Amino acid sequence: MAKSPKSTQPSKSLPVIDPNCAGVDVGSTRQFACVPSDRDEQNVREFDSFTDAIHSMADWFERCRITTVVMESTGVYWIPIYDILEARGFKVHLVNARHVKYVPGRKSDVLDCQWLQQLMSFGLLRGAFRPTEQICALRTVWRHRDTLLADQGRHVQRMQKTLTQMNVPRWPPKVPHLWPLKLLHLAGVN
């Protein structure tokens, strides 16, 4: 489950701003998490993407006295991790991958999580904006509504095309989304 990579040594030139932070590199099937090297003998661990594994990662963070978690991710794989860690009381920061992308020497997910943890401990990373839970829920519903409306339009066009190919005239032309239903009702289909 866990890998033991080379440990990164903290820089002597920068002061540690947040000693209680962890770094997580998020992927589609697994996450790599790193805590400060003085918190656990094995300070980098690998976790699956399933909910119980995310809770195991949160338990490990609690045992290591972590208060802040920074993660870098693209896509939507970060959302359940973010939600679970935030619900467990951690201060979670999602950082833009472009801000840390071109740093030399990072060659693996293990090194990514260590690098994120180190940069956050020095206070060099800033979290992206994340709206409140209510706004996120409203935005999700609104986006789903837009998708349904767009799908509805495509389905009406498909029905119109099919009826045109069957040489069935449009009726009534002023209500384009009702005439196929009316036609089906007249045909005896309920």
- Concatenating the DSSP letter of every residue in 160-181 gives HHHHHHTTPPPSSTT-TTTHHH
- 156 has a pLDDT exceeding 80: no
- Taking Cα atoms as reference points, which of 2, 87, 92 lies closest to residue 43? 2
Sheet architecture: strand order including 91-95 = 44-48, 30-34, 21-26, 68-72, 91-95
Residues facing 23 on adjacent strands: 34, 70
Mean pLDDT of all residues belonging to the chain? 81
In this prediction, residues 77-85 reach a mean pLDDT of 91
Whether pTM > 0.85 for this model: the answer is: no
What pLDDT, on the 0 to 100 scale, is given for residue 48?
A: 92
Total domains present in the chain: 2
What pLDDT, on the 0 to 100 scale, is given for residue 67?
A: 94
Is 50 inside a domain boundary? Answer: yes
Give backbone dihedrals phi and psi of 58, rounded to 5 degrees, phi first: -65, -40
In this prediction, residues 54-67 reach a mean pLDDT of 95
Regarding predicted confidence, which is higher, 159 or 3? 159
Answer with the one of 121, 141, 157 that is the final residue of a domain.
Answer: 121
- Spatial distance between the Cα atoms of 39 and 57, rounded to a whole number of angstroms: 14
Terminal-to-terminal C-alpha distance of the chain:
56
- Taking Cα atoms as reference points, which of 18, 118, 105 lies closest to residue 72? 118
Q: 149 with 77, same domain?
A: no
98 pLDDT band (50/70/90 cuts)? confident
In this prediction, residues 12-30 reach a mean pLDDT of 87
What pLDDT, on the 0 to 100 scale, is given for residue 34?
A: 94
Q: Is 33 helix (H, G, I), strand (E, B) or coil?
A: strand
- 175 has a pLDDT exceeding 90: no
113 pLDDT band (50/70/90 cuts)? confident
- Containing structural domain, residue 72: 21-121
Is 85 inside a domain boundary? Answer: yes
- 36 has a pLDDT exceeding 60: yes
Give the burial string for 102-131 (b: 16+ CB within 10 Å, else e).
Answer: eeeebeebbbbbbbbbbbbbbeebeeeeee
Q: 66 with 149, same domain?
A: no
